[in-house]
């Protein structure tokens, strides 16, 4: 048996159409899910502290007299060199994760009394220390030259 008769007899049309649709649907679903993965992770990283770490207590439950300590103690004279400033921001980045919304970085910088976060962020973006990942999400690209100096 040959030709269209053979295709019809063996249910070929149905197999080809159904197969193509199934593989397409499968990969569309997979791509949709992984396109949201980084947003879900970001949301997960920003969840309430009580869920974030079982060992941490909510703020209200902390023993009296134990106050919040800033993530990063600031020097008396704030540096003007951008790389130095980036180093001071590093503990904040460690706190909020590899990728973050700029508003979150702003909030934590303000809480820690960093001066002029807006101007600093603009400078970070221009020097590509803050790298846009799309959808308002940024990643941190710390300057590497200073590491050598630290080690040396």
Partner 1 sequence: MDLLFQFLSNTGYYLADYRNVIMIVIGSVFLYLGTAKKYEPLLLVPIGFGILVGNIPFFKGFGLGIYENNSVLHYLYFGVTTGLYPSIVFLGLGAMTDFSSLLARPSLMLLGAAAQMGIFFTLLGALALGFLPREAASIAIIGGADGPTSIFLTAKLAPHLIGPIAIAAYSYMALIPVIQPPIMRLLTSRQERLIRMPELRDVSKKERIIFPAVAVILCCFLAPASIPLLGTFFFGNFLKECGVADRLAQTARTSIIDTATILLGLTVGASTQGDVFLTPKSVAIFVLGAVAFSIATASGVIFAKIMNLFLKEKINPLLGAAGVSAVPGSAREVHLVGQSEDPENFLLMHAMACNSSGVIGSAICAGILWSFMIVL
Name the strand (E) or helix (H) holding 131.
strand 130-134
- Structure-block tokens of residue 109: 């910088």
Spatial distance between the Cα atoms of 98 and 137, rounded to a whole number of angstroms: 10
Q: Which of 77, 81, 75, 85 is nearest to 105 (CA)?
A: 85
Neighbours of 100 (CB within 10 A): 23
Decide whether 57 or 141 has the Cβ nearer to partner 1: 141
By the 8 A CB rule, do 52 and 60 touch?
Answer: no
Residue 90 within binding range of partner 1, rule CB under 8 A: no
Residue 16 within binding range of partner 1, rule CB under 8 A: yes
- Show contacts with partner 1 in window 91-120 (CB under 8 A): 98-99
- Show contacts with partner 1 in window 27-56 (CB under 8 A): 27-35, 37-38, 41
Residue 136 within binding range of partner 1, rule CB under 8 A: no
Q: Which stretch binds partner 1 (CB under 8 A): 5-13, 87-95, 103-111, 142-150?
A: 5-13
Residue 127 within binding range of partner 1, rule CB under 8 A: no
The set of residues, in sequence order, having a beta carbon less than 8 Å from that of 115 and lying 6+ positions away, is 78
Smallest distance, partner 1 to C-beta of residue 2, A: 5
Per 3-state DSSP, what percentage of the chain is helix, strand, and coil (rounded to 5)?
Answer: 60, 10, 35
Decide whether 21 or 57 has the Cβ nearer to partner 1: 21
Smallest distance, partner 1 to C-beta of residue 7, A: 5
Residues in touch with partner 1 (CB under 8 A)? 1-4, 6-7, 10-13, 15-20, 22-35, 37-38, 41, 98-99, 131, 133-134, 139
């Amino acid at each position: 048996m040959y030709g269209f008769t053979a295709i019809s007899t063996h249910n070929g049309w149905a197999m080809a159409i159904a197969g193509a649709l199934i593989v397409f649907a499968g990969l569309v679903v997979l791509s949709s899910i992984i396109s949201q993965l980084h947003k879900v992770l970001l949301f997960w990283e920003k969840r309430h502290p009580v869920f974030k770490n079982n060992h941490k207590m909510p703020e209200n439950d902390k023993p009296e007299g134990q106050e919040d300590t800033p993530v990063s103690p600031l020097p008396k004279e704030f540096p003007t060199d951008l790389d130095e400033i980036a180093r001071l921001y590093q503990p904040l980045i460690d706190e909020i994760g590899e990728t973050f919304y700029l508003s979150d970085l702003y909030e934590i910088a303000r809480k820690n009394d960093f001066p002029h976060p807006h101007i600093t962020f603009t400078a970070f973006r221009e020097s590509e220390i803050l790298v846009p990942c799309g959808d308002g999400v940024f990643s941190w690209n710390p300057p590497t030259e200073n590491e050598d100096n630290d080690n040396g």
